[in-house]
Chains A and B, each alone.
Chain A
Amino acid sequence: MNTTKQTGVCPVTGKGTMLEQRSLIDPEISAHPKAYYDAMRADDPIHYDEKLHMYLVSRFEDIQTIQRDPVTFSVEHGYKAQYSAGYFEEFKEILEREGGGYFPDAIMSDPPYHTRIRGLMDKAFTAHRVRELEPCITEIVVDLLDKLPAGEPVDIVKHFSVPVTIRVICEQLGVEQYNADKLSRWSQAVTAQIGRMQNREQMVENAKEICELQHFLIGHIKDRQKHPKEDMISDLVHARIEGSDEPTLTFKEVVSLVRALMIAGNDTTATAMTNLFYVLGTQPKVAELLKASADDDKLMSRFVEELLRLEPPVRGLSRMTTKEVEVGGRLLPKGAHLLLMYASANDQEDVFTCPRDFDMDRPNLGRHVAFGGGPHRCIGLSLARMEIRIAAREVAKRLENIRLKIPLADIPYLKSVATHTIEHLPISFTKR
C-alpha cells in the first residue's frame, strides 16, 4: 500500500508520484486517504484527478472561499454532474418507469431558489427545537446499547449506529412501520449516486432500491395530504411562506425533500457513531477523556465536535464553476467540476495544530468543515450533534474496555468519494 508520507517528488512536474499515479477512486486511496490529502495540500492544493475528471480542493482557505460564494460555485451544477455519473439517463428512465417519477433534489440547488427551499425547512432543525428531542433520542440509544451482548464480538454498525439513526429519523418523520434492513439498503442506494464508485450493474440495483423507497415515501406523503399529523412529513406537505408567489412546495419538491431528510442524515450520522467506537477502541486516552466529560454538556459538545473534525463522515461534496475564476492561485475554467475535500481541510496543520491528535481543547474547534459551510451548511447539524452526543454520553456511562475485533488494515470502507464510511466494525466491550 503506497500511503507513506514521504512521496517522491517528480523533478519535471514538481508533484508527488502519489498524486501523479493514483486517484481518489483507487479503492486503497479511498479507504486510507490521509497521505493523499497531505500530498495534495503540500504539492498541488487544487489537484486535477484524471480518473474522476474533477478538481480536488484540499486546503481549508480555498474550501472556505468556495462555499461562501454559492453563485460562482454552483451546488446545483456540481451535484447534477456528480449524480449517477456515467449512467444518469438510464437511471432517470428507471425511476420514471418504476419509481413514481424522477424527483431532482430541491435542496441541492442555487440561490435564490435554494433560499426559498431552505427557508421552508430551517425551522424544523433549530438547536433549541432539537434539544427537546433529547429524552426521546436517549431512550432509543439506551434501548439499543442495553441489547448489545457484552464479551463477544458485535458489529457496531449493524447493531447500534444504523438502527439508532434510522429509529430517530423515522420517529421525526412520523414513519411508524418500517423495515430497518430495507431502509439501510435504500440509504446506501441513494448515497451511492454521488459516490462515483458504482458500476452499471450496481446502478441498476440501486435505482430499483430507490424506486421502492420512493413508493414508500409517496404513500406517506399522500396520507399526510389528507390526514395531517404532528410530524415532519406533514410539516413539509403543509409548509407555507406567507406573502410569497409560491407559498407552498410542489409534490415533486416534497418527495425530494422527504427523501433527503430520510437519507441524508442516516448514513452520515451512523458513520459518526461508528467512528466514536473506532476512536474509543483505538485510543484509550480518548475513552478516559469521554468518561471525564460525560456529565458536562459543554465538554460533551466539544468532544462531539472534535470527533467530527478528526473523522468527518462526509469528506467530499461537489461544486461547479459558473464562470472562469481564480482560487488559491489556480485559474479554473467555467464548468470546472470541483470536489471539496472536507477531511483534508480538517487535517490542515496551520489551522488545527497537531491535526491527528484528539484535542477537545482546541480554541477554534468550530472552524472544522465536517458540516460544510456557507448557505449549504448541513441543515441537520443540530440533530446530528445531538444524536452523537447522546450516544457518546450513554456509551461512557454503560460500556467499558471497548476493543476492535478486527485488524485496522482489514476494516472495510464503503466505496465512495463522498463519504468515508466504515461498513462493519466488530468490537467487544464489558458492561459497567
Chain B
Amino acid sequence: MMREVTVTFVEEDGTARVLAAETGQSLMQAGKDGGVAGILADCSGSCACATCHVYVDEAWFGKTGAPDAIEDEMLDMVADVRKPTSRLSCQIKLSQTLDGLKVTVAPTG
C-alpha cells in the first residue's frame, strides 16, 4: 500500500524544499515532480547519467544505504563533486523508514 512520506531537498543555493511523496516512488521522481532545482534526471532513472546526484544527510545515510557497484561507477564519473554520502536519487526507493529524509542537491555543472 502506498503511504505518504515527507522528504526535504536543499537546493544548491540553500533553499530547502519540503515535499510530500509516496512510498514506492524514487527520491528522484519526488524531486522532479516537486520541481527541485538541480534534479535533472536526464536518463529518467536508468542509473546512467548522474544528473540526480544528492548528498544524503549523514544522519540518514545508514537508512538509505550505500550505492551498489553500478551506481558507484556512475558516481565515480562526477568524482569532482562526490562526497562520502553521495547517492543518485533515482536509486533511492522511498519507504516508510525514509519518512523525513533530508538530502542536499549536488552541483549540476
A residues at B contact (CB < 8 Å):
64, 68, 118-119, 122, 125-128, 131, 297-298, 301-302, 305, 363-367, 371, 373-375, 377, 379, 381-382, 385
| Across-interface contacts of A122 in B (CB, < 8 A) | 43-46
The smallest beta-carbon distance between B43 and chain A, in angstroms, is 6
C-alpha gap A377/B40 in the complex (Å): 11
| Across-interface contacts of B49 in A (CB, < 8 A) | 366, 371, 377, 381
The smallest beta-carbon distance between A257 and chain B, in angstroms, is 16
| Across-interface contacts of A126 in B (CB, < 8 A) | 45-48
Number of interface residues of B (CB under 8 A): 22
The smallest beta-carbon distance between B55 and chain A, in angstroms, is 16
Given contacts A297-B69, A298-B72, A298-B73, contact A119 B44 (CB under 8 A): yes
**Contact indicator A298/B76 (Cβ below 8 Å):** yes
Return the 10 tightest CB-CB contacts between A and B, nearest first: A366-B77, A363-B80, A377-B42, A127-B47, A126-B46, A301-B73, A363-B79, A364-B80, A122-B44, A382-B48
**Contact indicator A374/B42 (Cβ below 8 Å):** yes
Give A383's nearest chain B residue, CB to CB: B48
C-alpha gap A71/B1 in the complex (Å): 36
The smallest beta-carbon distance between B29 and chain A, in angstroms, is 12
**A126, A371, A373 interface centre (most CB from chain B within 10 Å):** A126
Q: Is the interface of B mostly helix, strand, loop or mixed?
A: loop
Give the residue of A64, A302, A377 whose beta carbon is less than 8 angstroms from that of B43.
A377
C-alpha gap A371/B72 in the complex (Å): 20
| Across-interface contacts of A373 in B (CB, < 8 A) | 42, 51
The smallest beta-carbon distance between B105 and chain A, in angstroms, is 15
**Interface pairs (18), CB distance under 8 Å:** A118-B44, A119-B44, A126-B48, A127-B47, A127-B48, A297-B69, A298-B72, A298-B76, A301-B73, A301-B76, A364-B78, A364-B79, A365-B79, A366-B77, A371-B49, A375-B42, A377-B49, A379-B43
Determine if B14 is an interface residue (Cβ-Cβ < 8 Å): no
| Across-interface contacts of A301 in B (CB, < 8 A) | 73, 76-77
The smallest beta-carbon distance between B100 and chain A, in angstroms, is 28
| Across-interface contacts of A68 in B (CB, < 8 A) | 40
Give A67's nearest chain B residue, CB to CB: B42
The smallest beta-carbon distance between A354 and chain B, in angstroms, is 16
| Across-interface contacts of A305 in B (CB, < 8 A) | 77
**Contact indicator B109/A364 (Cβ below 8 Å):** yes
C-alpha gap A405/B40 in the complex (Å): 45
C-alpha gap A131/B48 in the complex (Å): 12
**B43, B46, B48, B69 interface centre (most CB from chain A within 10 Å):** B48
| Across-interface contacts of B46 in A (CB, < 8 A) | 122, 125-127, 382
| Across-interface contacts of A364 in B (CB, < 8 A) | 78-80, 109
| Across-interface contacts of B103 in A (CB, < 8 A) | none
| Across-interface contacts of A366 in B (CB, < 8 A) | 49-50, 74, 77-78
The smallest beta-carbon distance between A208 and chain B, in angstroms, is 36
